[in-house]
């Protein structure tokens, strides 16, 4: 299974039939990513504060968290390994989208949130009601990965687009697959006259925020909307969650949509190569996303580690449509009953042991300097 994932996700050519079988997730025990990840350990007599195999367990507790579906596979992997080592900790993670996770955290319903986009200034201000002792929410980047643009054109496994053309497709200004703008980017390819059925997320989504950040940055003249977790353009089909959107594209001829690469690989959906101004179009992959994310900068202040991704990169082999998923907690004033276990779980997730298998789960490597900063920051939170 590891070799399958390595071949299908870490290599550069992911948009062709090579992704078939790259992630046989059902066979590996992964569930649909729109639901809840619930690891229910059996309590033992072991001390809850013991260090099991190098993993800090913290105090016995039940943690509830929610948010990003982009990190669902990583959460499944982390929770399985963590609760096996620390059986007195129970962790329930619900993949209800970044917006849902943010709302849950700000309402005090969860110990932490997963989000592919940062809280707004107004939301950070609201978080002070949840974080006691003058604390406020901060962002800890934990995983990264490419947002693939998948398409459904029978008989076609390869397609190249650029940012302006992609923006016009999702803004209903290009409506057929044989449009001259698409034909120009795919010289020698016989394109069908099929109607384009662009599909977007119906729920509040950090993946939407990342995708529209790319369109706004790389094609501002063709994409007149500000980036947002909510879809702003008119028309098009919609579906809830990354898995729902991927299913919509898989089932609808002529469709195109955006979702994390792992969803495309699991469903054998071909992906678009992006013409970025580099010498050659770039396919989404772990390597091409890692190259782009390596150019990220920390723009948060203090203990907040919000990143800025360069969506306009023209570096050879760098794929520009990427998201980084944050775990959102308080810088101080976290829930006393669950914070020791939450801190221990986040410490494990950011550790070398927690990060080492993420490429097999379809995630890009965060720069070492950023991961090290996350580790030291988690240790300083209270």
pLDDT one-digit tens code per residue, 97-139: 999 999 999 999 999 999 999 999 999 999 999 999 899 999 9
- Mention every residue, 6+ apart, whose C-beta is less than 8 A from residue 282: 273, 274, 276, 288, 317, 318, 319, 320
358 or 285, which is more confident?
285
Q: Is a pLDDT exceeding 50 seen at residue 29?
A: no
The CATH T-level fold of domain 2-143+328-380 is D-Maltodextrin-Binding Protein; domain 2 (3.40.190)
CA 292 to chain centre: 15
pLDDT by residue (tens digit) across 255-287? 999 999 989 999 999 999 999 999 999 999 999
Task: Give me the pLDDT at residue 55, please.
Answer: 86
Is the distance from CB of 168 to CB of 174 less than 8 angstroms?
Answer: yes
Q: Is a pLDDT exceeding 90 seen at residue 321?
A: yes
The CATH superfamily label for domain 147-290 reads Periplasmic binding protein-like II (3.40.190.10)
pTM: 0.81
- Compute the distance between CA of residue 20 and CA of residue 265 in angstroms, rounded to an integer: 6
Task: Give me the pLDDT at residue 141, please.
Answer: 98
Task: Find the largest Cα–Cα distance for the chain.
Answer: 69
Task: Give me the pLDDT at residue 19, please.
Answer: 33
Task: Give me the pLDDT at residue 364, please.
Answer: 87
Strand partners, 297: 308
Q: Is a pLDDT exceeding 60 seen at residue 339?
A: yes
Residue located via tokens 């990965």: 145
> What does the block give as tokens for 5?
């994932």
208-228 burial: b if 16+ Cβ within 10 Å, else e: bbbbbbbbbbbbeebbeeebb
Q: Is a pLDDT exceeding 60 seen at residue 33?
A: no
Section 346-350 average pLDDT: 96
Is the distance from CB of 249 to CB of 228 less than 8 angstroms?
Answer: no
Section 172-200 average pLDDT: 97
Among 268, 168, 269, 249, smallest CA distance to 201 is for 249
Task: Give me the pLDDT at residue 54, please.
Answer: 76
Section 39-63 average pLDDT: 61
Mean pLDDT of the chain: 87
Section 37-43 average pLDDT: 44
Domain residue spans of the chain: 2-143+328-380, 147-290
Q: Is a pLDDT exceeding 70 seen at residue 25?
A: no
Same fold, 2-143+328-380 and 147-290: yes
Q: Is a pLDDT exceeding 90 seen at residue 68?
A: yes
Is the distance from CB of 89 to CB of 63 less than 8 angstroms?
Answer: yes
Among 187, 263, 371, 242, smallest CA distance to 14 is for 263
Task: Give me the pLDDT at residue 320, please.
Answer: 97
Section 305-323 average pLDDT: 96
- Mention every residue, 6+ apart, whose C-beta is less than 8 A from residue 23: 4, 5, 8, 9, 262, 265, 266, 362
Q: Is a pLDDT exceeding 70 seen at residue 308?
A: yes
Q: How much of the chain, in percent, has pLDDT values that exceed 70? A: 86
Residue 256 CB neighbours (<10 A): 25
């Amino acid at each position: 299974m590891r070799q399958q994932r390595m071949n299908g996700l870490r290599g550069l050519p992911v948009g062709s039939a090579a992704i078939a079988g790259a992630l046989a997730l059902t066979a590996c025990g992964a569930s649909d990513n729109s639901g809840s990840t619930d690891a229910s350990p059996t309590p033992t007599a072991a001390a809850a504060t013991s260090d099991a195999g190098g993993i800090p367990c913290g105090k016995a507790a039940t943690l509830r968290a929610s948010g990003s579906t982009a990190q669902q596979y990583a959460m499944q992997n982390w929770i399985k390994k963590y609760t096996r080592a620390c059986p007195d900790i129970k962790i329930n993670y619900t993949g209800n989208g970044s917006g849902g996770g943010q709302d849950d955290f700000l309402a005090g319903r969860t110990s932490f949130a997963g989000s592919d986009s940062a809280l707004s200034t107004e939301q950070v201000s609201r978080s002070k009601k949840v974080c006691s002792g003058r604390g406020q929410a901060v962002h800890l980047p934990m995983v990264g990965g490419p947002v693939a643009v998948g398409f459904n054109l029978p008989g076609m496994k390869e397609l190249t687009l650029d940012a302006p053309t992609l923006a016009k497709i999702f803004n209903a200004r290009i409506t057929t697959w044989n449009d001259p703008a698409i034909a120009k980017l795919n010289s020698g390819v016989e394109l069908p006259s099929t109607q384009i059925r662009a599909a977007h997320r119906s729920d509040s989504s950090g993946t939407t925020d990342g995708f529209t950040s790319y369109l706004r940055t790389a094609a501002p003249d063709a994409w007149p909307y500000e980036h947002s977790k909510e879809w702003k353009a008119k028309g098009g089909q919609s579906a809830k969650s990354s898995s729902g959107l991927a299913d919509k594209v898989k089932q609808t001829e002529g469709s195109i949509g955006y979702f994390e690469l792992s969803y495309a690989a699991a469903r054998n959906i071909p992906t678009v190569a992006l013409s970025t101004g580099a010498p050659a179009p770039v396919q989404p992959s772990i390597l091409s996303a890692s190259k782009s994310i390596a150019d990220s900068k920390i723009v948060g202040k203090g203990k907040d580690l919000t990143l800025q991704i360069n969506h306009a990169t023209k570096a050879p082999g760098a794929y520009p449509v990427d998201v980084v998923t944050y775990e959102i907690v308080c810088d101080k004033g976290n829930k006393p009953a669950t914070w020791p276990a939450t801190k221990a779980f986040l410490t494990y997730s950011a550790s070398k042991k927690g990060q080492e298998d993420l490429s097999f789960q379809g995630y890009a490597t965060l720069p070492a300097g950023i991961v090290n900063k996350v580790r030291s920051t988690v240790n300083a939170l209270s």
